[in-house]
Structure 1
Amino acid sequence: MQANNKTVVKSMTILKLFLDHSKLTFNDMMAYTGIPKTSLHRMIGSLEEMAFLTKDKDGYYSLGLLFLQFGQLVADRLDIRTIARPIMKELRDDVEEAVNLITRYGNEAMYIEKLDTLQPVRLFTSIGRRSPMYAGDSRIILAYLPEDERETYLENTELRSIGIGTITDKSALRQALEKARKDGYTISRSELENYTASVSAPILNQQNQVVAAISAAGIEARFQEDRLPGLIQKVTSAAIKISEMLGYIRE
């Protein structure tokens, strides 16, 4: 039993080398681990058979596709609300505005978590509320969809006016989406509710795909130009923290 455990520990020692190295030769692994040649050869052979390692034509080993499958399972099974909530609380306490967590729900967006502001005047946004992806803080999700999905949505969606600031011209919306992708955030004013504003940023997974958005939202009077740079920095920073916990790696 103990011998088997030692084999598992040594196998993990081999696999952990690839946390710091994308590719290694057999001799590299022997030098880094100190495992005897015969034992190392046997363990690497077993790891190859189980698809934990793969060997290219030049004799270099790298992690096998099985790790991608495991990684995707972990990402899919993580509850983004559980991950995001402590970061949302830090953001809410820092900026003193309501903080929302939003995901795509078919062709709409849905608010799946919210922390209210401590300010006396509050916005009406409840968990489970739906909104169109083209308006307000959920527009960042639309901006980060693959181009074909984004265009299909735009072609098949009527842009109805909801608030006095709702973008209802598709050409103007396309420009706003392009700017959002370039900037990495959106600022909205009176798009879903009059005299409100928000700053939102995308949450990405390990495949660099948008899975949600985080926003700070409040009364428009509190979102003056001199305050926006700080809000943008804090919201985008929170989005990156959540993204990294979902496996996203910044380039």
Structure 2
Amino acid sequence: MNKTVVKALELLQLFTTYEQLTLQEIVQLTKLPKTSVFRMVQSLMTTGFLKKEGEAYELGLSLLQFGCLVTERLDVRKVALPIMKQLREETNEAVNLVVKDGDEAIYVEKVETSEPVRVYTRVGRRAPLYAGACPRVLLTFMSIEEQKKYLDRVELIPITSKTIVNREELKNLINEAKKKGYTVSHSELADYSSAVAVPIFNHEGKVVAGLSVVGPENRFQSSYIEQLVPKLKHKAGQISKALGFIGGKDVEL
């Protein structure tokens, strides 16, 4: 373990008990040298984890931001999992849940299919927002300003032979998907795999996650996708409603 990091975290832990502490009080409670405490406090202030009010220190806004993100993501997983299991029972396809983390999507939950031929996706996997139905649904339904900034800066790197790396083609695909209310991909993240995804919204009407069904490409023909979309939208609507999204039984897109 990195002792400096551990000591800094122990210092932060003090503020779960005390609202404000002076430098001398922190020294007394941690029993660390004053110079060491001062350096850690300065570093924590620079990164926004602490702020100074007069002679005392208190928790900074960075912790609030992290706390909100963790709470939001954990809530999505908790609410989504039983509904994902229902969707798997209705479709017998693997069901994935992703959230945005920086410029990437991270798979935070999955329910596996019982089909002998399946597409393997592990929890914790990361993917760029432009590739694959589930990551791209996050990109499709983010704010226009945020979307534009992302598309202007991202380097479109091929992951498979079918990954979309033409910027104009990607923009057109996003616009079309937004009108339809769902995204589709074929062999963009893994060869011979397909996915269909829909957005999940929170109480502010912001997209916070993507819900998808995934399977072998030969099963995901147009007629089959048309059957999957209403089921996906219905389940995403249930999750969104549980997160405080104001809407009907299904998410209206």
Which residue is 1:227 aligned to?
224
Mark the CA change 1:226 to 1:171 in structure 2 (over 3 Å): closer, same or farther: same
- Find 1:99's aligned residue among 78, 95, 103: 95
Mark the CA change 1:155 to 1:241 in structure 2 (over 3 Å): closer, same or farther: same
Which amino acid is the alignment partner of residue 83 of structure 1?
Answer: V
Mark the CA change 1:109 to 1:119 in structure 2 (over 3 Å): closer, same or farther: same
Which amino acid is the alignment partner of residue 191 of structure 2?
Answer: N
| SS in structure 2 of the partner of residue 226 of structure 1 | helix
TM-score normalised by the chain length of structure 2 = 0.68
Please give the per-residue CA displacement for 1:138-194, whole angstroms capped at 9, x wherever unaligned.
101001111111111111111111122211111111111111111110011111011
Identity within the alignment, %: 44
Matches within 5 A, 1:110-129: 110-129=106-125
Shift of 1:124: 2.1
- In the alignment, structure 1 residue 87 sits paired with structure 2 residue 88: no
Mark the CA change 1:155 to 1:77 in structure 2 (over 3 Å): closer, same or farther: closer
Measured in 2, the distance between the counterparts of 1:176 and 1:158 equals 17
Count of residues in correspondence between the two structures? 179
Please give the per-residue CA displacement for 1:169-226, whole angstroms capped at 9, x wherever unaligned.
1111111111111111001111101111000000001111000010000001111122
Shift of 1:229: 1.1
- Structure 1 or 2, whichever has the larger Rg, is 1
- In the alignment, structure 1 residue 150 sits paired with structure 2 residue 147: yes
TM-score normalised by the chain length of structure 1 = 0.68
- Find 1:173's aligned residue among 154, 170, 175: 170
| SS in structure 2 of the partner of residue 128 of structure 1 | coil
| Structure 2: runs of 5+ lacking an equivalent | 1-67
- Find 1:238's aligned residue among 215, 235, 238: 235
Which residue is 2:215 aligned to?
218
Shift of 1:117: 0.8
- Say whether the 8 Å CA contact 2:73–2:99 is kept in structure 1: no
| SS in structure 1 of the partner of residue 221 of structure 2 | coil
Q: Mean Cα displacement is larger for which, 192-201 or 162-171?
A: 162-171
- Find 1:135's aligned residue among 119, 131, 134: 131
Measured in 1, the distance between the counterparts of 2:246 and 2:74 equals 17
- In the alignment, structure 1 residue 195 sits paired with structure 2 residue 192: yes
| SS in structure 2 of the partner of residue 148 of structure 1 | helix
